[in-house]
């Protein structure tokens, strides 16, 4: 017997050297972000063709891996952190969040139970309580009241948990034993994110029992139409159980009237979930806290620091007003997970607050972010983007060739050229092919609309000025080539 390990691990000293090299690689990437074409230009299959058929039998040096990162992987990257990335909503990364993630990986903690790492649970509970105050969320969401918050991977998972809890509450927590004896129904606006439909499908309610409620001229849910749909379903013998209100819709950042929607939910006894995936972060600024008007009527709520609060993917904060409803929905306790702290009921076991059993120490990255930037730094981050967005909106308004296609609420400008859909589609293709910026599109009233979302960690005024110049120049060129 020797005490030499049969596997060739890095020694701590080798790890130190390799770690510095990797941090250098990331730092160099961040320094040179602007130089890459924003949207990857590779053809399907191009990355795989460069990878060997089988992994190496013997281990390789880090230098070889880093060389392949540059040669093979980087060309296949769409640069989400580039300051000229305006497509989708942002997925903010930041150096303190990256470092928090490194520490999380280093600790290698799996925080399914309080007892499997008390700090993993308690830091998370504490930070989520901080955020209740910082975002002006209802006190009921704090752990000291009957509610509480938990970090989920994504808003999609949060919405799924909300739908499952709503289903259980509506069926006396018996749906799993008895099945759905009376069909359930769920409601969201026609602008709600596709994750609501997915969740309703997974929960067994049935996608065809999700009612997509009409919106008003600002693309916000009409509470009168919601009320109407609920009554019609009741009369038809169905059991309405769940409503999702969206605060900051994906297409145009529309804000549903949560207070009025909540009043309808209370009247009919439905679970109200508020999806503020992007817009919730804005509430860290007092002047944008109105986005949370009415959330005190919600049973659950989520927002994504991984979208607009400088915290690397994945990080969604999910809150419930009554944690017992959620825990009762999701808890399953095999013998091997029993332990003294849990049995005493003195602790949170976050495995009961989401679908997976295991969980990473994600609170670390959020903690690093909150401590590095401070509240004031995060407020400046949001205000900076809203300011740039308003500037771009003004340029669109002033330009005779373009017009705004939807109200500008926070950090998204939806606009189109005055020519037809084909022209706008070609314009979008040319812009994205230029590599100078990345935009996405949506459809409004059947027409193609360009979306320019400003939220990059490193986006400055000079970037949006350059983007607008590029857009106008490309439109002029295209128009010159068309009758
Ligand atoms: N809800 C809204 C309003 C969104 O805009 C998005 C994504 O953009 C989502 C939910 C889904 O987010 P996630 O990727 O965290 O599931």
Using a pLDDT cut of 90, give the percent of the chain over it: 92
Q: What is the pLDDT of residue 1?
A: 54
Burial class (CB in 10 A: 0-12, 13-18, 19+), 444: middle
Q: What is the number of the ligand 1 atom nearest to the C-alpha of 246?
A: 3
Residue 308 beta carbon below 6 angstroms from any ligand 1 atom: no
> Band of the pLDDT at 125, cuts 50, 70, 90?
very high
In this predicted structure, what is the pLDDT of residue 345? 78
Q: Single out the residue of 385, 410, 376, 411 nearest to residue 463, CA to CA.
A: 385
Facing residues of 444 across strands? 447
Cα 1 → chain centroid: 51
| 38: confidence class by pLDDT, cuts 50, 70, 90 | very high
483: pLDDT confidence band, cut at 50, 70 and 90? low
Q: Percent of the chain at pLDDT above 70?
A: 99
Phi and psi torsions of 100, nearest 5° = -60, -40
Q: Using a 6 Å cutoff on CB, does residue 281 contact ligand 1?
A: no
The pLDDT tens digits for 260-305 are 999 999 999 999 999 999 999 999 999 999 999 999 999 999 999 9
User: How far is Cα 268 from Cα 240, in angstroms, rounded to an integer?
Assistant: 8
Q: pLDDT band for 177, please (50, 70, 90 cuts).
A: confident
Q: From the CB of residue 107, how many other CB atoms can be counted at a distance below 10 Å?
A: 15
Sheet with 300-303, edge to edge strand ranges = 148-152, 316-320, 300-303, 271-275, 239-246, 184-189, 210-213
Q: For position 5, what pLDDT does the model report?
A: 84
Predicted pLDDT at 180: 67
Phi-psi region of 189 (alpha: psi -120 to 50; beta: other; left: phi over 0): beta
Q: How many whole angstroms from 466 Cα to the centroid of ligand 1?
A: 28
**Is residue 124 in contact with ligand 1, taking CB distance under 6 Å?**
no
Phi, psi angle pair for 131, to nearest 5° = -65, -25
Whole-angstrom Cα distance, residue 483 to residue 479? Answer: 7
Cα dihedral: 378, 379, 384, 386 (round 10): 120
Q: pLDDT category, 346, cuts 50, 70, 90?
A: confident
* Pocket flag, ligand 1, residue 381 (CB < 6 Å): no
Q: Is the CB of 195 under 6 A from ligand 1?
A: yes
Mean local confidence (pLDDT), 445-452: 96
**Top mutation candidate among 162, 193, 410 for ligand 1, by most atoms within 8 Å of CB:** 193
CA distance linking residue 319 with residue 125, whole number of Å: 11
Say how many Å lie between the CA of residue 184 and the centre of ligand 1.
24
State residue 131's pLDDT score.
98
Kindly state if the Cβ of 275 falls inside 6 Å of ligand 1. yes
pLDDT of residue 344: 76
Q: Any bridge partners for residue 152, and if so which?
A: 316
**Can you read off the two tokens belonging to residue 145?**
């009241």
Mean pLDDT of all residues in 316-327:
96
Spacing, Cα 362 to ligand 1 middle (Å): 18
Please state the atom number of ligand 1 nearest to the C-alpha of residue 89: 8
* Any atom of ligand 1 within 6 Å of the Cβ of 256: no
pLDDT at residue 332 above 90?
no
Q: Which region among 47-51, 169-173, 305-309 has the lowest average model confidence (pLDDT)?
A: 169-173
276 Cβ closer than 6 Å to some ligand 1 atom: no
pLDDT greater than 90 at residue 443:
yes
Atom of ligand 1 nearest to the CA of 192: 3
For ligand 1, atom 12: residue with the closest CA: 155
- Check pocket membership of 277 for ligand 1, CB cut-off 6 A: yes
Query: Computed over its alpha carbons, how large is the radius of gyration of the chain?
Result: 24
The CA distance from 288 to 396, in Å, is 23
Task: Kindly report the protein residue whose alpha carbon is nearest to atom 5 of ligand 1.
Answer: 250
Q: What is residue 19's predicted lDDT score, i.e. its pLDDT?
A: 96
Output the CA 346–ligand 1 centroid distance in Å.
33
C-alpha to C-alpha distance for 463 and 452, rounded to whole angstroms: 12
| pLDDT, mean over the chain | 95
Instruction: Supply angle C-alpha 24, 365, 304, rounded to 5.
Output: 120
Handedness of CA 105, 109, 111, 112 (dihedral sign): positive
Check if the beta carbon of residue 425 is closer than 8 Å to that of residue 419: no
Q: For residues 365 and 5, which has the higher predicted lDDT (pLDDT)?
A: 365
Query: Could you report the per-residue pLDDT of 196-250, keeping only the tens digit for each?
Result: 999 999 999 999 999 999 999 999 999 999 999 999 999 999 999 999 999 999 9
Which of 118, 124, 117 shows the shortest CA–CA distance to 143? 124
């Amino acid at each position: 017997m020797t005490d030499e390990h049969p596997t060739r691990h890095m020694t701590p000293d080798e790890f130190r050297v390799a770690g510095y090299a990797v941090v250098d690689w990331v730092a160099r990437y961040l320094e040179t972000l602007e130089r890459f074409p924003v949207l990857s230009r590779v053809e399907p299959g191009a990355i795989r063709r460069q990878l060997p058929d089988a992994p190496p039998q013997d281990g390789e040096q880090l230098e070889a891996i880093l060389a392949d990162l540059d040669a093979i992987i980087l060309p296949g990257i769409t640069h989400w952190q580039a300051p000229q990335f305006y497509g989708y909503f942002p997925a903010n990364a930041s150096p303190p969040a990256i470092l928090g993630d490194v520490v999380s990986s280093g600790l290698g903690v799996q925080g399914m139970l309080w007892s499997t790492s008390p700090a993993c649970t308690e830091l998370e509970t504490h930070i989520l309580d901080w955020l209740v105050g910082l975002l002006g969320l209802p006190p009921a969401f704090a752990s000291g009241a009957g509610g509480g918050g938990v970090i989920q991977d994504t808003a999609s998972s949060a919405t799924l948990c909300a739908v499952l809890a709503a289903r259980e509450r509506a069926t006396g927590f018996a749906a799993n034993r008895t099945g759905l004896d009376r069909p359930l129904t769920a409601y969201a606006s026609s602008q709600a994110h596709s994750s609501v439909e997915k969740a309703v499908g997974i929960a067994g309610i049935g996608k065809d029992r999700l009612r997509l409620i009409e919106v008003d001229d600002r693309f916000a849910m009409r509470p009168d139409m919601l009320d109407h749909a609920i009554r019609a379903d009741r009369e038809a013998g169905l059991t309405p159980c769940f409503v999702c209100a969206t605060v900051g819709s994906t297409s145009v950042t529309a804000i549903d009237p949560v207070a009025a929607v909540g009043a309808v939910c209370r009247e009919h006894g439905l679970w109200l979930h508020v999806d503020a995936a992007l817009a919730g972060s804005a509430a860290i600024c007092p002047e944008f806290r109105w986005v949370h008007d009415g959330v005190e009527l919600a049973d659950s709520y989520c927002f994504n620091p991984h979208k607009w609060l400088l915290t690397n993917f994945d990080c969604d904060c999910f809150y419930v007003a009554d944690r017992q409803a959620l825990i009762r929905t999701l808890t399953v306790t095999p013998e091997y997970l029993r332990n003294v702290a849990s049995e005493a009921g003195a602790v949170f076991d976050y495995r009961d607050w989401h679908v997976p059993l295991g969980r990473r120490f994600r609170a670390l990255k959020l903690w690093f972010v909150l401590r590095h930037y401070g509240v004031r730094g995060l407020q400046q981050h949001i205000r900076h983007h809203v300011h740039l967005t308003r500037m771009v909106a003004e340029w669109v308004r002033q330009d005779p060739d373009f017009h705004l296609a939807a109200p500008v609420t926070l950090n998204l400008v939806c606009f189109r050229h005055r020519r037809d859909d084909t022209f706008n589609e070609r314009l979008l293709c040319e812009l994205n092919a230029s590599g100078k910026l990345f935009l996405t599109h949506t459809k409004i009233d059947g027409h193609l609309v360009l979306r320019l979302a400003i939220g990059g960690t490193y986006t400055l005024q000079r970037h949006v000025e350059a983007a607008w110049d590029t857009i106008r120049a490309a439109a002029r060129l295209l128009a010159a080539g068309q009758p």
